[in-house]
A and B are shown apart, each in its own frame.
Chain A
């Protein structure tokens, strides 16, 4: 399941929903706001989404993931709004019988989300005017 959240991500609620008795390994990815990008100090990030399409496209990615990898459960929530340093922007939870598939599926989900889901972020810098990050298909590590 893929959802967009305006409020802080509730990890406990996701774990509760995604939990499954047949799962032996869980891989988690948390994307958080860091204090710099490409040499510039960052003080906050502003996320905006075309929510209806983002949830639809995100759902397609989750379905693909369940078909491509031998996993049991996958969940991704992406936050929107104005986030401060260290706040969580994205949380991905993948449960599988064994760990390898969980790690691979988790990686696949974040890569596809970055490429395809209509979410934008504006970086508010310490020493220069804010800018929308422009990277269609960019694969910068978070």
Chain B
């Protein structure tokens, strides 16, 4: 299936990308992050990340479907 991944903050710097379409067999964000982490040598520890699917917070074991947008959210720091 094909999903869109958007990158922000340190993840944008580490991947060198704002977003990309990925063909993946990952069933959830946990598996997807493992795949991306290997591809880009991501340094962010999973326990410091949150995840959003289609603009809503989700859990790392939530199912992902074809054409979903997944965003791994580094520590937020608004204000």
Contact = CB atoms under 8 A, between A and B. Distances in A.
B73 to A, nearest CB: 5
Contact of B77 (A50, A52, A119): A119
- Interface residue SS majority, chain A: mixed
B6 interface: yes
B9 A114 contact: no
Interface of chain B: mostly helix, strand, loop or mixed: mixed
A56 B77 contact: no
A56 B57 CA distance: 11
Given A50-B52, A52-B55, A136-B50, A122 B9 contact: yes
Contact residues on B (Cβ < 8 Å of other chain), bracket: 10 to 19
A136 B74 CA distance: 8
Contact of A31 (B8, B55, B73, B79): B79
A47 B8 CA distance: 11
Given A48-B8, A136-B50, A53 B77 contact: no
Contacts of A122: 9
Contact of A134 (B50, B75, B79): B75
Interface string B64-79: 0000000101111111
Interface string B37-76: 0000000000010101001110000000000000101111
Interface of B: 6, 8-10, 12, 48, 50, 52, 55-57, 71, 73-79
Interface of A: 31, 47-50, 52-54, 56-57, 78, 89-90, 110, 113-122, 132-136, 138, 142
